[in-house]
Chain A
Amino acid sequence: MKPQQLTKPVWAATSSAMELGASRQGRSGRFGMVRAAGMKGLMLIGGAMTLAGCISVNAPDKPIVIELNINIKQEVVYRLAADAGNTIKDNPDIF
């Protein structure tokens, strides 16, 4: 379903863009005349892209939860091993 919807407007836009060069206004104006339905499709896609943009901007505001285990390095675990072993031995009531 999706590729079909995408192909139609892209085909129309590509040919007009090639003819008119870099002028954005001319391209969209001509495009609107050529096919109103294609314009609607573009607006929908544009709307979806705007929404996607909003989400990617808002995400960093929230605390990023990093998997705990990834942060712990093997060398630290090795360094703490002896002390941790003693702690377990010294607290047999809770281990």
Chain B
Amino acid sequence: MTNFVAPIERSMLAKAGWATLAALVLVAPASAQQRDPAYAAARASGQVGEKVDGYLGFPVAPSAEIRRLADDINIKRKAVYAERAEANGATIEEYAFSAGCQAIARSVPGEKYQAPDGSWQTRTAAAPLRDPRCP
């Protein structure tokens, strides 16, 4: 089939192919730019909360489904932490802790977060209780 395509047309086809690929690459992350509805619901209902160490935890005993959901997100978080930690010359734990500071700060009223003493707190309009090392 390609035998019948003139060289100019072939290069145009190639360009179109690259354009399509580029468009797909650009679109792909955008499709993952929102919380999964189940995750959003688990956060809002306090079934998962932000831990001090930068990962999701369980303020109450989780169902199998909630545990799977949080484990899945925590694995993805760790992958991101590992990549960024390497780029910044830090350990995964240091980066994760730093992200935990930010994640707790960004929690919204009604969501659960872990205080420095390990207890679970419900976020209010007031500033959350954070580790003194948090900026």
Name A's B-contacting residues (CB within 8 A). 68-69, 71-74, 76-81, 83-85, 87-88, 91-95
Contacts and interface: CB of A to CB of B under 8 A. Distances in A.
B24 interface: no
Most buried by B among A68, A74, A80, A81: A80
B18 to A, nearest CB: 25
A76 to B, nearest CB: 5
Contact of B133 (A73, A87, A91): A73
A93 B32 contact: yes
B109 to A, nearest CB: 17
A76 B133 CA distance: 9
Contact of B77 (A74, A79, A95): A95
Interface of B: 32-36, 52-53, 73, 76-77, 80-81, 84, 87-88, 90, 93-95, 97-99, 101-103, 106, 131-135
B116 to A, nearest CB: 8
B135 A88 contact: no
A93 B76 CA distance: 10
A83 B135 CA distance: 13
B103 A95 contact: yes
8 contacts: A72-B97, A73-B133, A77-B97, A84-B98, A88-B106, A91-B76, A92-B34, A94-B76
A88 B73 contact: no
A73 B98 CA distance: 10
The 5 A-B residue pairs with the shortest CB-CB distance in the complex, in nearest-first order = A80-B98, A74-B133, A84-B99, A84-B98, A81-B135
Given A72-B93, A91-B80, A94-B80, A77 B101 contact: yes
B36 A72 contact: no
Contacts of A79: 88, 90
Contacts of B36: 93
B78 to A, nearest CB: 10
Most buried by B among A72, A80, A84: A84
B131 A69 contact: yes
